[in-house]
Structure 1
């Protein structure tokens, strides 16, 4: 019954937003692409002059080395990046270089259509291979089937050291169409692929070595150089006039290092008068120019191709990044939980919704549509954002599909029609105009301005259908007493302004569908006993949470997977600690002020949590904790002495040791914490030296140090430092000032280093 209902709801949603229930390429529906003719800039990329290329020196050398040096086995070399980033231009410059021309007997370039068929691709490949080798085409080539075409191409490549470039590949199963053609003669032959989708290349690992270069945006300096080459190539001696430098900088920053946009905008401005007034007008209307100007429409077209290629279930997930402000870094857990609350995430066998949603985010990242801005220690995205021009495209799609409306300080956004999602970065007077939008399902507020108490109270009355209420970045005066009106709410996040205890209203117990509750503020939140009724609540997060009214009631919240940070500095702490043992699904637990006298109860409860992966804010480090085999993250440890014994913490990947006033020594036995990747030593003023036995941490990648004694580094052995510098890829010290003592055997410490190998 539920499966059928979900199918109907998903179908209705896909129809409403124009999302096709298909994995095939969709169709663009943006206003600009309907009305303007355009020339595909990917064709022009094949004919760019050397003098017009900027920022490709390092990647060109890297790719050339992969192609002409290294292993004899056939290898797939690839360039991955978002649309318009210069993949084709870079590949063509490498392909046409003297180093490549002199190294390969046969060089073939094939531009791959999004809608290619395998026989057509193989036929094109055979034609170009024969032309390259100067041999006669086999008879009946137009009637050959796939098997015959494969045999012919293999025969022609068999005795050659070949390079075949497949430009602009979209199909993630592309390798299946060419792997038998690309014969491996152990002579250094190469396949070269350009793609927006990392999975295209990953699939090649099945039967080939691969090398992947992920193209990065141009730096600001490189962007300005490219912009000037295109804007002033005819006049001004190729240099930006002084009076236009400031405006040019602002325009270029909007491009965020995307060569396609820089070249297109620079080319357009080369035809404009070079005066401040003209350029200021262009800068102020740049967003609308991108969507309507015939010379710039290709930018959105190119970026929209990536959107059109998305399967239907990923389209709303990408559009969701449009609810956040420009250049906003969103935590991956936050957006994932909101996707789930919105109903975007499909159930899959043997996977939690969280795991499915994480897969969605990974796919958007691999398709070069979402950028990773920060990483967790396990390599997953901690924070992410979208490129400014991708965001522009998202906003256009959102407008077309009525996906989300924005209200900003100027109040110019039209709120006509049914508004499903509302994103607000505004003052109260403008907010009044949209308060009555009762169809809103998701409400977001961003900014530092506070709302008046009347708005705090009025929201639950006006927005009864909300599923997502995200005010984490917008300070509220009070938690509305009538929270119970949000009977459909699944995600609730609030930031409070007061510097005192905030009592969460009892009406929160009426939110039977709530899955995520986030409470931010300067002080702690006192939770009512009614919160135990929230049987669907999976994530309960607060700056500091008091469970004084819950005690054993917390154990009834069986769905909890995340619970932090709970203060146990209260009467009845033992009862709360005992009840925590009933939370069998808990994965992420943060506790404050665990009483030492309750250590045995704490031990029993923790050992009941079979899925526990992350434990934070623990003050003591009892011996029994060494046996928590599923633990992967232990943060904010505040104990007195640390000795990691052989066999302890087999899965721990991240360890933060902080604020330990008396801690003097850390000992790491061989065989303990073998999976550790990151170690942070923070505010340990009495720690004498680097942990003894640090060389046993064979997987250590990051070492972070701050707030230790001035003599810390000099007391550590040269042997330990040499091991660190040889084996640890990232070492960060925020503690010391450089003294220029390069003769010191511990000079590495004196250099205030930030080293990335």
Structure 2
């Protein structure tokens, strides 16, 4: 096929040019004493590059001739790719407000959810710990239904603890335990480094005495249950375990209470399609309904099929011609397969009708393990590094990548898995049925190799390592010289590696190397400095990396280096910021970095920049494109050291954390476009918060771990004019005097571990925009004040209040602060109930210093 021929020519040209550019770079930087020798090497490399370019031009010309010969046929072609690029993309142009739809429940699942809620709370034994199994076909909505139940108001109030983990086909017990613990308490590095036995015991202790709900999603085998069930104590209080599975034998083995998730009716499928395709507009022709009901019948009652076909139809701008093309394509697949069209055919059609520029982006999801919750920002940076984005005028590559992902989300091919406190996408996921299709299409195109205990290594563009050993060795490739590998991403969690080398010929054009989940113990793997085409490098290590020559990686765009062992801090070269192609730099807080010698025109993200007491004024003019910045301050600063903040005109997100500073002074001027500010350990007096309130574009404010100090937050004339989200965690103020006028458009208030605060200002009931107050681990007086606000707003139902209790329920004996109080905390080792005798303020401080919050 012509498209395959074009792809082959492009891939070959990319490899040949990359190889010759590598030779040219190495020659230009050769460490030879003879200057003339260096010039000869450079001249020879230039000549080879020139010859390669000439050959590439000839190959391209040959393809052009083929295209011209076939042009009449192409013009009359009705292939899906051609339609996708010339009809669908041109018609479908979503506005920014349409890009990220709010999560909406599947039609028809509300009664089902209530039935499961009744099984959890009302129908079972009030004492016995019981297992309830939800059974159904893949894509029938088991996980969606379980999430609705998990977040149901009565479920949240009835169970003290709720925890969720995905078991998946290839289950990992340690990962399951960590995910469950992460729902109960903050998981630190110390916890994640424990073995399975220690984690299981910690989970069991956290559940002792609590009424809990555990969700084990997507269970494929009873082996996972047999291993983990001892972590779930029978507290004789009505605890429940909810399991979802598509296998009847798993259900009957685990439970006598089985809930069969029903298929949707054809009418319900049509309602899903109609709502997504037309919204509130409705349709003007009976042809739409004719096609729509035909699609609904072909969904076979599977909600995922209806959601996917609805997402596809929503991109057509209601073009009947394209609806007809989709119908014809589904019919052809039915004829070819000699069976009824179902979920597999519909997922295939959704891929066929993707515009070409989205196909590579979509298939890239196959590189992640099944059921992976993928960090959204990481995915964007990977797509930029891979190089298959179309540059657009006046938009950064990150913005282009984000628009591609938004498009896939709107098509329902990608799901939002987790949002940040301000509503932005934090993690995304794809359904395992869609993941199967990604793997199938990627294998068909020979662009991805999945490597684990069941799959041998194949040379492809993307290598997804999901094994429990390090597979990239010379022997594993049998001295193969193929240079087509561009990316290696390692997903073998909790694997320790002492040494490895990466200098093999087949890796010389590597662009992406993600070893963030591999625990390396000798600084940097040998040979990385020679991978000069690297654009993305992520590594978790211990040992010295001070002598590593980052300067050779001149194409590096994203660099992430962290220590996987708590208290083992790395020492990095101080000139990393001299890499001029860097766009995103993530280092641990204690690394010291020199400011670059030249202006960094590309750097957009910098975490963390350490500022020490010995530093003089920092010249932030060196980062004109910076959008996100984390500042870590250690030791007393020269007054005015951070005043050049104001020159970061594009900065939108700023985090400031302090250690070993007696007195921190807020800068008098912040970046003018700052939208999100996080302060931690800054101990600023409340009287200075007026500096923050003056920020003209501030939408999200996070005050963590004694960011402000003093017993009273007294707000007078200051107003946070456009603040939408306010998070307060682990502050020790007791009184908050504020009104609705101080936060005129606040939408969300989050209070965590505010053990001294007695109530939320009652006038917040008059904030018309307020949608939710989230209370986590607070005393009942604070919770009750939030419910008072709820009752005042009940008539118009403008706010939704969530109380997420982590076990801190002990009340102060009186209104005065007692020196000694019994504070209940769910994870105090060595105690069954978690009760300790400590001064309350000292408890807060010690927990926050250990990184518990």
Q: Output the TM-score relative to the length of structure 2.
A: 0.53
| Equivalent of residue 520 in structure 1, options 562, 579, 592 | 562
Q: Distance in 1 between matches of 2:491 and 2:673?
A: 37
Contact residue 469 and residue 492 of structure 2 kept, 8 A: no
Q: Distance in 1 between matches of 2:570 and 2:80?
A: 41
5+ long unaligned stretches in structure 1: 27-52, 60-81, 97-108, 113-120, 129-163, 170-192, 205-291
Q: Does 1:23 align with 2:23?
A: no
Q: Does 1:703 align with 2:757?
A: no
- SS, match of residue 441 in structure 2: helix
Cα deviation 1:389-429 (Å, max 9, x = unaligned)? 11111111111111211111x2x31434x421111121337
Q: Output the TM-score relative to the length of structure 1.
A: 0.59
- SS, match of residue 495 in structure 2: coil
Q: Distance in 2 between matches of 1:623 and 1:741?
A: 32
- CA distance 1:388–1:402, change in 2 (3 Å): same
- SS, match of residue 384 in structure 1: strand
Number of residue pairs the alignment of both structures matches:
519
Shift in Å, 1:590: 0.5
- SS, match of residue 362 in structure 2: helix
Residue 104 of structure 1 corresponds to none
Residue 383 of structure 1 corresponds to 427
Q: Distance in 1 between matches of 2:604 and 2:698?
A: 19
Cα deviation 1:209-228 (Å, max 9, x = unaligned)? xxxxxxxxxxxxxxxxxxxx
Q: Does 1:487 align with 2:487?
A: no
Contact residue 497 and residue 519 of structure 2 kept, 8 A: no
Q: How does 1:562-577 map to 2 (within 5 A)?
A: 562-569=605-612, 571=614, 573-574=615-616, 577=617
Residue 196 of structure 1 corresponds to 310
Contact residue 561 and residue 586 of structure 2 kept, 8 A: yes
Residue 675 of structure 1 corresponds to 722
Contact residue 557 and residue 582 of structure 2 kept, 8 A: yes
- CA distance 1:12–1:57, change in 2 (3 Å): farther
- CA distance 1:689–1:510, change in 2 (3 Å): same
Q: Distance in 1 between matches of 2:589 and 2:365?
A: 29
- SS, match of residue 549 in structure 2: helix
Shift in Å, 1:677: 1.9
- CA distance 1:545–1:405, change in 2 (3 Å): farther
Contact residue 626 and residue 648 of structure 1 kept, 8 A: no
Shift in Å, 1:454: 3.3
Residue 612 of structure 1 corresponds to 651
- SS, match of residue 640 in structure 2: helix
Shift in Å, 1:700: 2.0
Q: Distance in 2 between matches of 1:452 and 1:680?
A: 39
- SS, match of residue 588 in structure 2: strand
Residue 578 of structure 1 corresponds to 618
- SS, match of residue 92 in structure 1: helix
Q: Distance in 2 between matches of 1:658 and 1:449?
A: 30
Shift in Å, 1:721: 5.9
- CA distance 1:23–1:637, change in 2 (3 Å): same
- CA distance 1:55–1:328, change in 2 (3 Å): same
| Equivalent of residue 503 in structure 1, options 520, 541, 545 | 545
Shift in Å, 1:580: 3.2
- SS, match of residue 735 in structure 2: coil
Q: Alignment RMSD, CA only?
A: 4.8
Shift in Å, 1:385: 0.8
Residue 539 of structure 1 corresponds to 584
Cα deviation 1:45-88 (Å, max 9, x = unaligned)? xxxxxxxx9626599xxxxxxxxxxxxxxxxxxxxxx9987999
Q: Does 1:629 align with 2:650?
A: no
Residue 650 of structure 1 corresponds to 696
- CA distance 1:625–1:323, change in 2 (3 Å): farther
Contact residue 562 and residue 587 of structure 1 kept, 8 A: yes
Q: Does 1:92 align with 2:282?
A: no
Q: Distance in 2 between matches of 1:694 and 1:387?
A: 42
- SS, match of residue 314 in structure 1: helix
Residue 803 of structure 2 corresponds to 753
Cα deviation 1:405-457 (Å, max 9, x = unaligned)? 1111x2x31434x42111112133755564666532100111334343332x3
Shift in Å, 1:612: 0.9
- CA distance 1:752–1:556, change in 2 (3 Å): closer
Contact residue 566 and residue 592 of structure 1 kept, 8 A: yes
Q: Does 1:424 align with 2:424?
A: no
- CA distance 1:428–1:195, change in 2 (3 Å): closer
- CA distance 1:357–1:446, change in 2 (3 Å): same
- SS, match of residue 23 in structure 1: helix
Shift in Å, 1:565: 1.0
- CA distance 1:663–1:11, change in 2 (3 Å): farther
- SS, match of residue 598 in structure 1: coil
Q: Distance in 1 between matches of 2:486 and 2:516?
A: 17
| Equivalent of residue 342 in structure 2, options 283, 298, 301 | 298
Q: Distance in 1 between matches of 2:375 and 2:84?
A: 28
Q: Distance in 2 between matches of 1:122 and 1:745?
A: 49
- SS, match of residue 357 in structure 1: helix
- SS, match of residue 561 in structure 2: strand
Shift in Å, 1:738: 5.7
Contact residue 24 and residue 311 of structure 1 kept, 8 A: yes
Contact residue 731 and residue 754 of structure 1 kept, 8 A: no
- SS, match of residue 380 in structure 2: helix
- CA distance 1:12–1:95, change in 2 (3 Å): same
- CA distance 1:557–1:741, change in 2 (3 Å): closer
